[in-house]
Amino acid sequence: MKKPKTSFRRETPGLPARRVAAEILEAVLGRGRPLDEQLEGHAGLAALEDRDRALARQLIGSVLRRLGTLRHLLSQFLQKGGPPANAPRVETALLIGAAQILLLDVPDHAAVDLSVRLAQADDKAKHFAGLINAVLRRVAREGKTLLANIDSADVDTPRWLLQRWSRVYGTDSARAIAQANGHEPALDLTVRSDPQSWAEKLQGTVLPTGTVRVLAQGRISQLAGFAEGAWWVQDAAAALPALLFGDVRGKRVADLCAAPGGKTMQLANAGAQVVAVDRSETRMNRLRQNLARLNLQAESVVADATEWTAEPFDAVLLDAPCSSTGTIRRHPDVPWIKHEADITSLTPLQQKLLEQAAALVKPGGSLLYCVCSLEPEEGIEQVNAFLARQPAFRRRPIAATEIGGLSELLTDDGDLRSLPCHLPGPDPRQSGLDGFYAARLDRQP
């Protein structure tokens, strides 16, 4: 009996990357799944060649950073009511196509053709292939003129979030934050020693805070210094809180909610005896892997930090779970999967963590509370309420000299308050910081 012939159909080059990008975007925008979770767990993304994997990531990032702009522009070419709700691949194909035409260096004909093919491969969207073709051809003809008249700072941030920032920081700063969030950030590295030397090797620059900032392409693991554990990836703002303890050589320091471990590694590299605590076994395994690559030592504990107890420490660092609105530059899904109610929902947990952290600080020791949030309920208001409840603690103002002379990162109370629009420069790819808040609280002897 003859074996049936097997036919092999080779997919159009570039289509697999766009299909993966579409699947991840639909999980984020349609089902509210965190982008990091999708990037780490998507088998299709992992199976792509390096070049296609980078393209998929670029497409996802471009769509999410400019989602408001792209939707606003596409709405001008669609009938009232927008794309069909029962065929999400239609909008996804339009967004991916428009992003390539308007924001990326992709030929118009390729962007249109591949978006049409993307829809044709989906049972619900294939009936709208003609619509997608027509709309994207109009985007190619008219889109750049329309794009120039769209206020991206206004439409690429959800209205509720922009209004909050305007109330807290003023209209101009709120718009500057929104504009900074629209640019893909550079790669920030914390180096174990000799930042200037590593900046030269990696063709980067040394920021005033000591972070090395580089414009790297390709896999991070292929960069010089990765294999030998000379540095780790950590946003410049996230690297500041661990510096605020001063000299920690020989001191016992607890790092609560520690994974993936950037601050643990800073403290261990500075000579502290660190105990890192996190409730996630998966994230803690990543921390251990990072420590092993860097040849650094720290004790790791998988536990709920709201209940974990131990002998008092010289210093305790608490990087509390928060809304993460300060990290939109690196996590462009945040504005689209978070809601205003999410901010107040986390404040009871932050309060509980602060109380438990305080119990772990010995008399004369320090507590460093920080969040990667721009929202006062999660930062300054938490700290002020804590100090009102805990008379044994006092705020110790941070000096500009402790953070590279960047006095603009300090509040009137002496707390750290970085904004995404800080560290401006002519090249937006080399500018900005994550939004971070930190307060240093000393326990009286």
Residue 372 designated active-site: yes
pLDDT of residue 2: 45
pLDDT along the chain (445 residues), means of 10: 42 89 97 94 93 95 97 91 88 98 94 96 95 97 94 94 97 97 95 97 96 88 95 97 97 97 98 97 95 97 97 98 96 95 93 98 98 98 98 98 97 98 91 97 97
pLDDT of residue 326: 98
pLDDT of residue 80: 76
Tell me the β-bridge partners of 393.
443
pLDDT of residue 8: 35
- How do the domains of the chain map onto residue ranges? 15-150, 234-443
pTM of the model: 0.93
pLDDT of residue 10: 57
pLDDT of residue 13: 78
Same fold: 15-150 with 234-443: no
Q: Which CATH number fits domain 15-150: 3.10.300.10, 1.10.287.610, 3.55.50.30, 1.10.940.10?
A: 1.10.940.10
Catalytic-role residue among 322, 370, 372, 421? 372
Going by CATH, does the domain composed of 234-443 fall within 3.30.360.10? Answer: no
pLDDT of residue 219: 85
